[in-house]
Structure 1
Amino acid sequence: MKLQLTNGYRPRFDQISRILQYLLLQGDKKKISRLEIVTSLGIPENQVENLISMMTGFGLVHPRVTTLTPFGKAIIQADPYFDKEETLWIIHYIVSSNPEWVVWHRIINTVLPSQDHYSVEQISTQYFSDLAIHFSERTISEKLPKEVGSVFAAYSRSELSRLGILGVEGTGNFIKSNPIEIPNLAFLFCLLYYRDKYSPGSSAVNTEDVCLAENSPGRVINLPEYQVRTILGNLHNAGLVRLEQLANLDQVRLSDTLTQEDVLGRIYGGKNAN
């Protein structure tokens, strides 16, 4: 469990893009130090540290070695300015489905479904009192509100704001908004990510789990069950998954050959399932 993913800073996707480009140019290096990035790009060391932390949480780089993940490589090669909705939805799902990033995870999975209006002070006080046994009083009083504020800033003042999850309602106050619809292929990637993390090797996932289980795409993205089933139906019609509904069976069958990388190829290579 980590209290700080952002260290109180909102994501700077222009700088993230610069770092991704630099990492791409390093080829097959097994590890890239932060000092190399600082020296080569001229970004202040503390900013690089914060950005690398967020890039790890977003699934763009591997932890500790700071090399590109397949997702990070696909983005810098095909969507370096984070223009595609699919890119933003996948980032949102990856970081929000990981309980290790306790503040981000709890805001998306507990706070947002519970109320419609938010203030950083109220959220910091009401939803994180249990963390006092894990962190010092100073950390809770000083760093927790900054982390809460940076998560809200990410969805209101960075590229993630284009998802429409939050709106601003005065200084330090926010309101639940009406998100744009998640593209079918982005949902499929999230489904495979969920399967690979929680049931690796499984060829099928219970449909109700896809909709409602903890850290599932339906739950994290906060979609009503009918909308999840509509997306799955679209993917079934496109031949990318198979819905099996017989007697007591209600599941999504996934091909053994369908991988996250395949879906990234469809997203960034032009094939679609919409």
Structure 2
Amino acid sequence: MKLNKNKTAFGRHETFPLRYGWLTKGVEVIGKQKGIFQEREHETAMTELGLGRNMVNALHYWLHVTGLATFVGGDGSVSPLGKALLGKEGDPYLEDEATLWIVHWLIASNAEWATGFFWFFNHYSAPRFRDKDALQALEDFVAQELGLKRAHTTLKSDISTLLRMYSPVASRGGEEHLDSPLASLQLVNIDEGYGYNSLRTSRPFLPTVAMHFALQQRFAEHAGKHQNAKEAAIPVRDLLYGGSGWAAPGAIFRLNEDGLMTCLHQMMEDYPRMYELRDTAGVNQLYRLTPPQRPETVLANYYQHYKGEAA
């Protein structure tokens, strides 16, 4: 999703990082009672989910950010993406690490509903930083690049929540953030004696389906009115660093250049005749050779194969 200064959201998570089981619980309860996240149903939601009021609001937000559920007039429905990812044919218990990488992509690429998270993974390039450094950089970005005014406390809550959600050590610092699933990806770590680090590395164990999923979404959005054309291309540099407000898989997955290229080559082996790298007029570009797949189709094909191998 492309960054648009007229469509931003900060601090909507009630300061609660995403927890293990939350998304699956949310998908399950919406499937049974579509209006459970309406204000008048909060007591029921608290009982069904075993969560406090503010946590219910946070779960509502994370379901919305990830696109696993859609909400119209207060009523929720599980999206095709939600069914494919966390339904009985998907990975409801988050047993496959690829599922976490895909959830991470869904959050960090959502410039409209998780603007602070989008900024951190797509724009903030400091490999080592303190929380106050990241906060200052976010405040500068919001004021200077977006031309917006947002409360210091709101932006501070985004940085604090992000660090607790992604930092493995920080997530064990207290009961309230004991079990954040995205901490296991090690995209943010404690840097002893300094603060935090979020380093671009090769990440050889990044599941290629996560890159494939991200690229299918990226191509569909980037291509715009030409998305149904047989071929489309994105410069590799844009995939690594982003461009014109688009989410960059290389940045979101914290890949260095070698890591991105290795992942792309492995992905082309795993998904033959779907992509091709070409040097066009001196610009290295990734072409897609087929129309983009729907996200739920990517997931359905992957989990069918994954569960077949596990059987």
Query: What's the TM-score once normalised by structure 2's chain length?
Result: 0.73
Asked if the contact 1:19–1:37 (Cα under 8 Å) also holds between the matched residues in 2, the reply is no
* Counterpart check, 1:160 vs 2:168: no
* Partner amino acid, structure 2, of 1:210: L
Q: CA–CA distance in 2 between the matches of 1:82 and 1:50?
A: 19
Q: CA–CA distance in 2 between the matches of 1:145 and 1:108?
A: 16
* Counterpart check, 1:39 vs 2:44: yes
Q: CA 1:237–1:108 in 2, change beyond 3 Å: closer, same or farther?
A: closer
The match for 2:148 is: 134
Structure 1 unaligned segments of length 5 or more: list them. Answer: none
The match for 1:81 is: 93
RMSD: 3.0
Partner residue of 1:245 out of 254, 278, 291: 278
Matched residue of 1:160: which SS? helix
Shift of 1:58: 2.1
Matched ranges for 1:96-111 at <5 A: 96-100=108-112, 101-111=114-124
Asked if the contact 2:217–2:292 (Cα under 8 Å) also holds between the matched residues in 1, the reply is no
Shift of 1:103: 1.4
Partner residue of 1:23 out of 23, 30, 33: 30
Matched residue of 1:67: which SS? strand
Q: CA–CA distance in 2 between the matches of 1:129 and 1:247?
A: 36
Q: CA 1:247–1:254 in 2, change beyond 3 Å: closer, same or farther?
A: closer
Q: CA–CA distance in 1 between the matches of 2:252 and 2:99?
A: 16
The match for 1:186 is: 210
Q: CA 1:17–1:211 in 2, change beyond 3 Å: closer, same or farther?
A: same
* Counterpart check, 1:210 vs 2:239: yes
Q: CA–CA distance in 1 between the matches of 2:101 and 2:273?
A: 19
The match for 1:9 is: 16
Shift of 1:109: 2.1
Shift of 1:235: 3.0
* Partner amino acid, structure 2, of 1:220: I
The match for 2:102 is: 90
Q: CA 1:233–1:15 in 2, change beyond 3 Å: closer, same or farther?
A: closer
Asked if the contact 2:11–2:157 (Cα under 8 Å) also holds between the matched residues in 1, the reply is no
1:96-133 per-position Cα deviation (integer Å, ceiling 9, x unaligned): 1222222112222233x2232x3322321243135356
Q: CA 1:173–1:245 in 2, change beyond 3 Å: closer, same or farther?
A: closer
The match for 1:57 is: 65
Q: CA–CA distance in 1 between the matches of 2:181 and 2:204?
A: 13
Shift of 1:194: 0.9
Q: CA 1:194–1:37 in 2, change beyond 3 Å: closer, same or farther?
A: farther
- Percentage identity across paired residues of the two chains: 20
Q: CA–CA distance in 2 between the matches of 1:4 and 1:90?
A: 22
Matched residue of 1:222: which SS? coil
Query: What's the TM-score once normalised by structure 1's chain length?
Result: 0.82
The match for 2:174 is: none
1:64-94 per-position Cα deviation (integer Å, ceiling 9, x unaligned): 4432222221232232222322111112112
